[in-house]
Amino acid sequence: MDGRAVWGRVGETRVELLSGSPLEGEPGVLGTIPVAGAVWLPPVVPGVFYAVGYNYPRHIEHAGAATPERPEVGYRANNALTGHRSPIVRPAEVTGRFEAEPELVAVIGRTVRHATYDDARKAVFGWTIGNDVSARTWQHQDRTFWRSKNSDTFKPMGPWIETEVDALAQTTTLSVNDEVRATFPTGDMVFDPFDHIVEITRHITLHPGDVLWMGAESTCQIDPGDTVEVAISGIGVLSNPVHLEGNHS
Amino acid sequence: MDGRAVWGRVGETRVELLSGSPLEGEPGVLGTIPVAGAVWLPPVVPGVFYAVGYNYPRHIEHAGAATPERPEVGYRANNALTGHRSPIVRPAEVTGRFEAEPELVAVIGRTVRHATYDDARKAVFGWTIGNDVSARTWQHQDRTFWRSKNSDTFKPMGPWIETEVDALAQTTTLSVNDEVRATFPTGDMVFDPFDHIVEITRHITLHPGDVLWMGAESTCQIDPGDTVEVAISGIGVLSNPVHLEGNHS
């Protein structure tokens, strides 16, 4: 609004602009704009950005990895976040496979520690969509995922947070240039988001705004000039063009 | 102040309470309190919490690891941060070695991408001290460092940010119950903080408030009942008691 970033409540045709974060209270409505006029930022910037690795049986089988015996998480970095419709910029020096990973994202709404499964359900404010863009050559070369998964623009998230959906009963679809590359049941996980919240909060306090990316079953190559879309039924579609660094066309 | 957390400028005997973050402008002075009356929080909560692993030649040799060919970083998580004098809480189920790692921390003061070495020097707002507390059994069992290094209270940071020091010309000392357990030249690194900033910002934008923990040369065991201190000459002393979970004595 007037060049400032504000929270919004997204309706069918209009966005209500809010006076504050709905994660922190009951914000007032400052005005409305048409949905078509919105510029989309990541719907939240987390205090901690959790990401699950191997969590879909077919992904684990494909990777030849062991099925995890209990939930485990890693981290991604906020610098890499970008919003719906913003470009994923492939660094000029990236070689080899450059891939999209379509993921369900749980957005935490409460401060929670030592959660039961029921507490964990209540701790989720809502659901959004993430694309865990990965440069595979760097992923294999490096000791950590710092540049392979956390270079600027490698973590599109959005378009919004859906608060009224049974997220685990949905279908995830990954498309490039309107061609479907993968589709899988969103909830076909080894451990679901609530299992992860129970395990994490044995040792760690989760805070409002923290996000938990739930892993992907399938991935696909993306190239400069493509538009990649991650759709989760009941939530929305996260769409991003792919650019080559230094090339703003 | 009045139960609220505020920024402060720490002098010899008094702390000036500030109207905002000195990372974001020139805050005004709200009042002063005696240094002895302060409750210390982590001096900054980063947008991204970077941590260097192998970076001291003697640590690398001791671990039998390969010397890194270029700077590389991992991540830690904000939930684990705690301030000077606050307890490190060892979870009840931790077994095996529970260790302190004394680290220099660079606090970023500018938005920076594609930094030269000189840009990197200018991008550091100041220096603080971190203790990268680690539960080794979990570290070896788990695929990531999520609970071994990021359980609540495992990342003491403070006591403050020193803006006027040649941090790499100092000495780091690790003590338990006033007994020195390790001492090493703070700057005896494979790659210094500015080398890391140059490498990171090839692909990643650093933002004001981001922190970069620089690794440790030596570690030592800490047990409930101990008080662990990390001192870096010219910066200060970060002191934390160690508690056992569920035991508030």
How far is C-alpha A209 from the geometric centre of its chain's CA atoms?
Answer: 13
The beta-carbon neighbor of A73 closest among B146, B152, B204 is B146
Distance CA B102, CA B104 (A): 7
B247 touches chain A (CB under 8 A): no
Nearest chain A Cα to B92, which residue? A203
Predicted pLDDT of residue A2: 73
DSSP, res A58: H
The SS3 assignment for A16 reads strand
Pairwise CA distance, residues B17 & B5, whole Å: 10
Token pair for residue B246? Answer: 């569920």
Q: For the beta carbon of residue A51, count every other beta carbon within 10 angstroms.
A: 23
Domains of chain A, residue spans = 1-39, 40-244
Q: Is A205 on the interface with B (CB under 8 A)?
A: yes
Residues of chain A found within 8 Å of residue B73, distances taken between Cβ atoms = 144, 146
pLDDT in tens, B132-173: 999 999 999 999 999 999 999 999 999 999 999 999 999 999
State whether the Cα torsion A191-A197-A202-A204 is positive or negative.
positive
- B65 and chain A: CB distance < 8 Å anywhere? no
Look up residue A10 and give its two tokens: 């997204």
Tell whether the model's pLDDT for residue A249 goes beyond 70: no
How confident is the model over A117-139, as a mean pLDDT? Answer: 98
Q: Token pair 């020091």 is at which residue? A: B165
Q: What was the pLDDT predicted at A23? A: 93
**Cα gap A38→B163, rounded to integer Å:** 41
Q: Which residue has the tokens 């623009």?
A: A153
Least confident segment among A238-242, B56-60, B83-87, B202-206: B56-60
Do the chains contact at B151 and A48, CB–CB below 8 Å?
A: no
Q: In what order do the strands lie in the sheet with B88-90?
A: B88-90, B236-244, B227-232, B171-176, B179-185
Element (H, E) at A81: strand A81-82
Chain A residues near residue B76 by CB distance under 8 angstroms: 75
Q: What is the pLDDT of residue A211?
A: 98
Note whether B79 contacts A205, CB cutoff 8 Å: yes
Which run of H or of E encompasses B193? helix B193-200
Predicted pLDDT at B248: 54
Q: How distant is the Cα of A142 from the closest Cα of chain B, in angstroms?
A: 8
pLDDT for res A115: 98
pLDDT of A91-109, one tens digit each?
999 999 999 999 999 999 9
For chain B, what's the residue count?
Answer: 249
The 10s digit of each residue's pLDDT in B231-249 is 999 999 999 999 999 865 4
Residues of A in contact with B205 (CB under 8 A): 79, 152
The tokens for A63 are 């990777």
What would you report as the CA-atom Rg of chain A, rounded to the nearest whole angstrom? 18
Q: For chain B, what percent of residues have pLDDT higher than 90?
A: 94
pLDDT the model gives residue B171? 98
Contact A14, A33 (CB under 8 A): yes
Mean pLDDT of chain B: 96
- Assigned architecture for domain A40-244: Alpha-Beta Complex (3.90)
Helix (H) or strand (E) holding B75: strand B74-75
Q: Does the pLDDT value for residue A247 go beyond 70? A: no
Task: Tell me if A229 sits within 8 A of A238, measured CB to CB.
Answer: yes
Confidence of residue A63 (pLDDT cuts 50, 70, 90): confident
Give CA separation, B232 vs B107, B167, B182, B237, B238, in Å.
15, 8, 12, 7, 9
Reply yes or no: is the peptide bond before residue B159 cis, omega within 30 of 0: yes
Give me the sheet containing A14-18, strands edge to edge. A8-10, A14-18, A29-34
Give the DSSP letter of residue A113.
Answer: S
Region B56-69 average pLDDT: 91
Q: Confirm if B159 and B236 have CB atoms less than 8 A apart.
A: yes
pLDDT at B247: 67
